[in-house]
């Protein structure tokens, strides 16, 4: 019984605020979120209309950028709910989102080998 | 000769007198007999009349009084015909008739309770099954939400939660237990959880005036409190305009626990409806399902039953917002402080930090057993260093670094461009100039607070 995880009391859908949402194509799991302006989170009037989850996301990003999926893990929310929070903040100008870092291309093995050979001949 | 005549006359007189006397006596007897006969006849007439009256009353008992009394069992305002008068049918008959009616009512009451108990038992069985199935669905949805980024999963979760609330309320009404055991849960989370179970939850604005963010509800009362609060919130949102907000305030009640105050700007309740609600909120014994109307209005009955069972109290009154104000008092013995291993949900409402509370007043907070000193753990985004947070493992490791980030931010604040400074000062100047003009031009200030000024001048 004690092994079983605690049943959650606060469901994640609360972040949607009952709005009809469309999934955002520009935000995926690996999008990098950056705080637009650190000052914005500290003035109370700038953050008047937003909920505690928005505060927490801004606070989380204050030291530096994080990917969306990392933010989700830190907030303890599903990624889909984190997307909603992030989209709100991007719309209000608190956050910037950048596409994911492109996957590194496969490096031409022969090129590396030739480079190695070249380096060895330098000695 | 004369002597003989006299004797004969005397004899005749005597005989005549005797005959007269006898006739008189017979006459008197006859009269007496006639009177007796009349009296007997009269009495018989009376008996027949009484019999008719009793028969009439019996008929009235069957046709009017029993149905009316049965109706009055379910509808307290239904008119009850008067009992028969003792003058017509006699006190014994009245007593016998009333006894018959009482016996009918007693049998009816017993039968009603038996039927109601049977209905509750069958509902209990059904709700227990459905509830456990809904919890399984919830767990699956929770897993799916973490694997899949589809927003419809959140929507589905909400629908599931609504169904769960209905089932749970019905189960509580049928004397089942709330169906879920929780650990000590933070009050802010319980409130947020209750909010999530209500259609139109986005209209509920939670204001947390508690000084202690980790103030929690003891394990046994956490789920019941969430159910009761959800019912009250559902009432508030259902009976108010969809455009209006429903404020929910958490506040300390001195040493008397915590108050949760829900207001709505809805249609409000009539005085008799309020009286009925207050009767239900006490959690009366032997409340029948059939007493809740059709369709059953279960909200207050559910709250009342849980309140009596778990020891919190609820009160309703007309709200200054126009609708109904419901106040839920969570007594101090139901409160605790949640241990630090429990990570608060990010969605839990943060305490309003309007002004720093003097440290002397902390002691006046809720006397919580097992807490030496109330050291409120600050929410993560408060840019003050908290030595406690530094020592805590895992997720909160980002918090201390945040202080470093906060320091340069503070340093940057005073830097202001000349254009900004210019704009601010000219705004100030314009404000004072326009203020002076307004005072000089108008004879009396009629701006904000005008009503008070007028009142003062009038008296």
For chain A, the structural domain boundaries read 12-122
Q: For residue B49, what are its two tokens?
A: 């009349």
Select from A1, A15, A6 the least CA-distant residue to A75.
A15
- Chain B residues within an 8 Å CB radius of A77: 346
In terms of Cβ atoms closer than 10 Å to its own Cβ (0-12, 13-18, 19+), residue B262 is: buried
The pLDDT assigned to B249 comes to 93
- At residue B297, does pLDDT exceed 50? yes
Radius of gyration, CA atoms only, chain B? 42
**Average pLDDT for B207-212:** 86
- How many angstroms separate the CA atoms of A56 and B343, rounded? 13
B349 touches chain A (CB under 8 A): yes
What tens digit of pLDDT does each residue of B251-288 get? 988 777 899 999 999 888 888 889 989 989 988 887 88
Disruptive mutation site among A43, A52, A60, A86 for chain B (greatest number of B CBs within 10 Å)? A52
Q: How far is CA B234 from the centre of its chain?
A: 13
Close Cβ partners of A39 (under 8 Å, ≥ 6 residues apart)? B409, B412, B413
* Residues B198-225, mean pLDDT to the nearest whole number: 90
Q: B92 at the A interface (CB within 8 A)?
A: no
Q: Which residues of B touch A39 (CB under 8 A)?
A: 409, 412-413
Q: Model-level pTM? A: 0.68
Of the two residues B341 and B406, the one the predictor is more confident about is B341
Q: CA-to-CA distance for A112 and A121, rounded, in angstroms?
A: 14
Judged against a pLDDT cut of 80, whether residue B147 lies above it is answered with yes
List the single residue in B with minimal CA-CA distance to A74: B395
Report the alpha-carbon distance of residue A111 to residue B370 in Å, rounded.
Answer: 69
What is the mean pLDDT of the segment spanning A88-117?
84
CA distance B83 to B66: 11
The confidence band for B2, taking pLDDT boundaries of 50, 70 and 90, is: confident
CA B330/CA B135 separation, integer angstroms: 27
pLDDT in tens, B39-56: 999 999 988 988 998 899
Check CB contact under 8 Å for A13 and B183. no
Q: CA torsion B183→B188→B191→B194, rounded to 10°?
A: -50
Contact present, B187 and B250 (Cβ < 8 Å): yes
Query: Over 60: is that where the pLDDT of B418 sits?
Result: yes
B155·A74 Cβ contact <8 A? no
User: Cα separation of A84 and A22, whole Å?
Assistant: 10
Tell me the average pLDDT across B61-89: 85
Q: Is B412 at the interface with chain A, CB within 8 A?
A: yes
Q: Give B181-340+376-401's CATH code, choosing from 3.30.420.40, 3.90.1520.10, 3.30.565.10, 3.30.360.10.
A: 3.30.565.10
Q: Within B174-218, where are the H helices?
A: 187-196
CB contact under 8 A, B149 and A79: yes
Q: B20 is written with which tokens? A: 């007269």
Residues of B within 8 A of A52 (CB-CB) are: 346-350, 379
What one-character DSSP code corresponds to residue A64?
Answer: S
Q: Which of B41-45, B56-60, B95-99, B440-444 has the lowest mean pLDDT?
A: B440-444
Segment B96-121 mean pLDDT: 92
Summary mean pLDDT of chain B: 81
Per-residue pLDDT, averaged over A85-89, amounts to 87
What is the pLDDT at residue B381? 41
DSSP state of B251: E
Nearest CB neighbour to A13, from listed B158, B345, B395: B158
HSE (side-chain half, CA atoms, 13 Å) at B323: 23
What CA–CA distance (Å, rounded) separates B332 from B368?
A: 7
Q: In this predicted structure, what is the pLDDT of residue B196?
A: 93
């Amino acid at each position: 019984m004690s092994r079983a995880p605690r049943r959650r009391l606060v469901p994640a859908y609360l972040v949607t605020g009952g709005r009809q949402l469309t999934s955002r194509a520009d935000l995926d799991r690996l999008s990098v979120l950056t705080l637009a302006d650190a000052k914005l989170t500290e003035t109370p009037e700038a953050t008047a209309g937003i909920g505690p989850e928005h505060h927490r996301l801004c606070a989380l990003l204050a030291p530096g950028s994080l990917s969306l999926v990392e933010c989700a893990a830190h907030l303890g929310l599903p990624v889909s709910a984190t997307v909603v929070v992030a989209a709100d903040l991007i719309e209000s100008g608190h956050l910037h989102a950048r596409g994911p870092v492109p996957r590194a291309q496969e490096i031409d093995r022969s090129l590396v080998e030739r480079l190695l050979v070249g380096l060895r001949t330098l000695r | 000769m004369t002597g003989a005549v006299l004797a004969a006359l005397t004899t005749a007189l005597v005989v005549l007198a005797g005959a007269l006397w006898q006739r008189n006596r017979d006459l008197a007897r006859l009269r007496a007999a006639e009177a007796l006969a009349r009296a007997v006849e009269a009495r018989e007439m009376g008996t027949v009349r009484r019999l008719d009256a009793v028969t009439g009353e019996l008929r009235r008992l069957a046709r009017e009084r029993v149905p009316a009394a049965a109706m009055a069992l379910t509808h307290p305002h239904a008119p009850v015909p008067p009992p028969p008068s003792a003058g017509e049918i006699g006190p014994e008959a009245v007593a016998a008739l009333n006894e018959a009616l009482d016996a009918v009512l007693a049998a009816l009451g017993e039968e009603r309770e038996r039927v109601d108990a049977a209905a509750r038992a069958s509902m209990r069985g059904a709700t227990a099954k459905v509830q456990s199935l809904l919890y399984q669905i919830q767990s699956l949805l929770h897993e799916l939400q973490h694997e899949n980024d589809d927003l419809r999963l959140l929507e589905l979760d909400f629908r599931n939660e609504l169904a769960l609330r209905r089932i749970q309320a019905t189960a509580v009404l049928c004397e089942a237990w709330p169906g879920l055991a929780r650990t000590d849960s933070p009050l802010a989370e319980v409130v947020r959880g209750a909010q999530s179970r209500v259609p139109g939850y986005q209209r509920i604005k939670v204001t947390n005036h508690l000084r202690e963010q980790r103030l929690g509800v003891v394990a046994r009362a956490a789920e019941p409190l969430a159910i009761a609060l959800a019912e009250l919130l559902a009432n508030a949102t259902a009976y108010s305009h969809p455009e209006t907000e429903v404020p929910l305030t958490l506040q300390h009640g001195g040493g008397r626990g915590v108050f949760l105050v829900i207001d709505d700007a809805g249609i409000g309740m009539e005085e008799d409806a309020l009286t009925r609600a207050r009767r239900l909120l006490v959690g009366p014994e032997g409340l029948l399902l059939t007493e809740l109307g059709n369709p059953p209005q279960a909200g207050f009955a559910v709250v009342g039953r849980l309140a009596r069972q778990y020891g919190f109290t609820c009160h309703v009154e007309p709200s200054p917002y126009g609708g109904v104000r419901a106040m839920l008092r969570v007594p101090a013995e139901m409160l605790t402080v949640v241990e630090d291993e429990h990570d608060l949900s990010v969605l839990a409402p943060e305490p309003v930090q309007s002004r720093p509370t003097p440290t002397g007043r902390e002691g006046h907070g809720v006397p919580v057993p097992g807490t030496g000193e109330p050291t409120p753990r600050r929410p993560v985004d408060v840019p003050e260093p908290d030595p406690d947070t530094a020592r805590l493992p895992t997720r909160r490791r980002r918090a201390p670094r945040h202080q470093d980030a906060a320091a340069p931010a503070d340093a940057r604040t005073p830097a202001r461009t000349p254009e900004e400074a210019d704009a601010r000062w000219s705004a100030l100047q314009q404000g004072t100039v326009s203020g002076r003009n307004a005072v000089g031009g108008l004879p009396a200030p009629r701006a904000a607070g005008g009503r008070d000024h007028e009142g003062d001048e009038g008296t």
